[in-house]
């Protein structure tokens, strides 16, 4: 229940307010003077303050000031005996929520109180949500003590405060989006929007109108003005995910934002200034795309001001134990089944040999699955999926799209080969000779395939 402070030097008014507001279910505290009101404000967390503008020789604005300082989320409503527009305006400028002239109707004050309390609820919730969100992207929630990740942390902290464009590269599931958010939520734009778009997930014309918005009548179905995502992210950060897949027409628009800080809505005639911090991510090799002329060279240089490369998980296996613990806590809390407090050493060993083609995301999924399936207090090898354990036999291999006619055979075979090689390596503790034997391959052929699929574990390449 919200308690309300009523400050007024007139006893009859205080009594009236107490009766009326208590009837509505509120708890009411009264103060006959400015001094008393300020004292109460410093000692209590009121949901709402109603104060007279003039109390004897003292000024109700002082009550307003005290409330703004001590209780920033608490709305303050000013009551005035004569509708003095001037003082009311001063009060509003200083942050009063509203004002009401005496004598007032019961319904009027009831409505103002109700609305003011509603507003307070919203602003408290908002603040709470913002802190919760910011916490989630604290650097402390990005896990990893490997040198590579530590360097990235330093870089993130340094660039977060600037507006410099960042290009994040790395295989799928390495944490590109997580780092993009960490940059935004640790910088001075954190109270403005973080908006993202996946350039590969939408047809070209839709992507364009989503990004830029359109004027009324820009095309047949544009029956009203629509703000684009870039405009709505103003003052915040804009995340271009899979930027390598952006069609050339979108690349031009992006270049314009980077160079001129402005956009033009579809069907529009004037440029609209935008203040955006651009973060882009890709898991393809942009410089190769530049060579193939499917990515603009000028855009590539504009984006690549601060490159951040996230190495694949198999190249930073020292991060695995901490990541496992982090995800165990996360999914224990989410599924609160049995409490799982660790992992068996031989299960962890599997983790350290498996090449994690899906990187951190795959590890996270494996842990979530194990948390759900495990019946013991520790994750055992038996709760891990088959592809990690290398127990599959040829007839257990799932062939994706076997029933489809338009399957890319080369690509599918390649994926199967990668899985089998990775698996054999894992079952042989990373020793190439042993793994080659398991697949009936020569050492050279095995080594070639390992390199082709980038499955090499750097610490073990000379056996």
Ligand X SMILES: Nc1ncnc2c1ncn2[C@@H]1O[C@H](COP(=O)(O)OP(=O)(O)OP(=O)(O)O)[C@@H](O)[C@H]1O
Which of 169/383 has CB closer to ligand X? 169
* Closest CB to ligand X: residue number: 175
**3-class DSSP string for the chain:** CCEEEEECCCHHHHHHHHHHHHHCCCEEEEECCHHHHHHHHHHCCCCEEEEECEECCEECHHHHHHHHHHCCCCCEEEEECCCCHHHHHHHHHCCCCEEEECCCCHHHHHHHHHHHHHHHHHHHHHHHHHHHHHHHCCHHHCCCCCHHHHHHHHHHHHHHCCCCCEEEEECCCCCHHHHHHHHHHCCCCCCCCEEEEECCCCCHHHHHHHHHEECCCCCCCCCCCEECHHHHCCCCEEEEECHHHCCHHHHHHHHHHHHHCEECCECCCCCEECCCEEEEEECCCHHHHHHCCCCCHHHHHHHCCEEEEECCHHHCHHHHHHHHHHHHHHHHHHHCCCCCCEECHHHHHHHHHCCCCCHHHHHHHHHHHHHHHCCCCEECHHHCCHHHHCCCCHHHCCCCCCCCCCCCHHHHHHHHHHHHHHHHHHHCCCCHHHHHHHCCCCHHHHHHHHHHCCCCCHHHCCC
Taken in order 241, 243, 246, 248, the sign of the CA dihedral is positive
Neighbours of 285 (CB within 10 A): 12
Which of 177/344 has CB closer to Mg ion? 177
From ligand X, Mg ion, none, interface partner of 178 (C-beta below 5 to 8 A by class): ligand X
Q: How far is the CB of 327 from ligand X (least distance, A)?
A: 8
From ligand X, Mg ion, none, interface partner of 174 (C-beta below 5 to 8 A by class): ligand X
Q: How far is the CB of 177 from Mg ion (least distance, A)?
A: 4
Q: How far is the CB of 316 from ligand X (least distance, A)?
A: 9
* Closest CB to Mg ion: residue number: 177
Which of 178/255 has CB closer to Mg ion? 178
From Mg ion, ligand X, none, interface partner of 30 (C-beta below 5 to 8 A by class): none
- Residue 251, CA distances (Å) to 270, 303, 418 in order: 20, 11, 33
Q: How far is the CB of 249 from ligand X (least distance, A)?
A: 23
Which of 174/209 has CB closer to ligand X? 174
Q: How far is the CB of 54 from ligand X (least distance, A)?
A: 56
Which of 177/262 has CB closer to Mg ion? 177
Q: How far is the CB of 149 from ligand X (least distance, A)?
A: 6
Which of 108/135 has CB closer to ligand X? 135
Which of 75/175 has CB closer to ligand X? 175
CA atoms of 411 and 428, how far apart (whole Å): 26
CA atoms of 85 and 97, how far apart (whole Å): 15
From Mg ion, ligand X, none, interface partner of 175 (C-beta below 5 to 8 A by class): ligand X
Q: How far is the CB of 215 from ligand X (least distance, A)?
A: 33
Q: How far is the CB of 310 from ligand X (least distance, A)?
A: 7
Name the site residues for ligand X (rule: CB under 6 A): 142-144, 170, 172-178, 283, 326, 360-361, 364
Taken in order 147, 152, 155, 161, the sign of the CA dihedral is negative
From Mg ion, ligand X, none, interface partner of 109 (C-beta below 5 to 8 A by class): none
Which of 171/208 has CB closer to ligand X? 171
From ligand X, Mg ion, none, interface partner of 360 (C-beta below 5 to 8 A by class): ligand X
Q: How far is the CB of 353 from ligand X (least distance, A)?
A: 20
Q: How far is the CB of 86 from Mg ion (least distance, A)?
A: 55
Name the site residues for Mg ion (rule: CB under 5 A): 177
From Mg ion, ligand X, none, interface partner of 143 (C-beta below 5 to 8 A by class): ligand X
Which of 88/250 has CB closer to Mg ion? 250
Spatial neighbors of 166 by CB under 8 A, at least 6 apart, are 159, 180, 183, 278, 279, 280, 305, 306, 307, 308
Which of 68/361 has CB closer to ligand X? 361
Neighbours of 58 (CB within 10 A): 17
Q: How far is the CB of 211 from ligand X (least distance, A)?
A: 19
Which of 47/170 has CB closer to Mg ion? 170
């Amino acid at each position: 229940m919200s308690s309300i402070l009523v400050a007024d030097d007139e006893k009859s008014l205080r009594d009236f307010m107490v009766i009326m507001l208590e009837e509505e279910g509120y708890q009411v505290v009264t103060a006959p003077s400015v001094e008393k009101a300020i004292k109460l404000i410093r000692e209590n967390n009121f949901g709402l303050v109603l104060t007279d503008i003039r109390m004897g020789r003292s000024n109700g604005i002082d009550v307003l000031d005290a409330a703004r300082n001590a209780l920033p989320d608490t709305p303050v409503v000013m009551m005035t005996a004569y509708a003095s527009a001037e003082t009311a305006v001063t009060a509003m400028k200083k942050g009063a929520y509203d004002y009401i002239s005496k004598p007032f109707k019961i319904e009027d004050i009831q409505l103002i109180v109700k609305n003011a309390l509603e507003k307070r609820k919203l602003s408290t919730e908002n603040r709470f949500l913002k802190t919760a969100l910011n916490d989630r992207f604290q650097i402390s929630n990005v896990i990893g003590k490997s040198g590579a990740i530590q360097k990235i942390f330093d870089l993130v902290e340094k660039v977060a405060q600037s507006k410099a464009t960042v290009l994040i590269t790395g295989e799928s599931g390495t944490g590109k989006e997580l780092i993009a958010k960490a940059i935004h939520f640790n910088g001075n734009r954190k109270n403005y929007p973080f908006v993202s778009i996946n350039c590969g997930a939408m047809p070209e014309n839709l992507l364009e109108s989503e990004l830029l918005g359109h004027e009324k009548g820009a095309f047949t179905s544009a029956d009203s003005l629509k703000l684009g995502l870039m405009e709505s992210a103003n003052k915040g950060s804009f995340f271009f995910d899979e930027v390598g897949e952006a069609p050339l027409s979108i690349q031009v628009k992006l270049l314009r934002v980077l160079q001129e800080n402005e956009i033009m809505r579809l069907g529009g005639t004037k440029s609209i200034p935008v203040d955006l911090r651009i973060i882009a991510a890709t898991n393809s090799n942009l410089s190769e795309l530049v060579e193939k002329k499917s990515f603009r060279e000028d855009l590539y240089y504009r984006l690549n001001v601060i490159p951040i490369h996230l190495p694949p998980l198999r190249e930073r296996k020292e991060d695995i134990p901490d990541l496992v613990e982090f995800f165990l806590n996360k999914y224990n809390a989410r599924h609160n089944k049995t409490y799982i407090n660790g992992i068996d050493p031989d299960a962890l060993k599997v983790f350290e040999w498996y090449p994690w083609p899906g990187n951190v995301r795959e590890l996270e999924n494996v842990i979530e699955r194990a948390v759900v399936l495990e019946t013991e207090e520790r994750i055992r090898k038996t709760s891990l999926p088959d592809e990690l354990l290398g127990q599959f036999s040829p007839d257990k291999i799932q062939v994706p799209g076997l029933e489809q006619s338009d399957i890319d055979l080369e690509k599918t075979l390649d994926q199967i080969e990668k899985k089998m090689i990775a698996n054999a390596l894992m079952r042989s503790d990373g020793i190439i000779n042993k793994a080659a034997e398991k697949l009936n391959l020569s050492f050279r052929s095995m080594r070639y395939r390992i390199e082709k699929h980038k499955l090499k574990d750097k610490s073990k390449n000379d056996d």
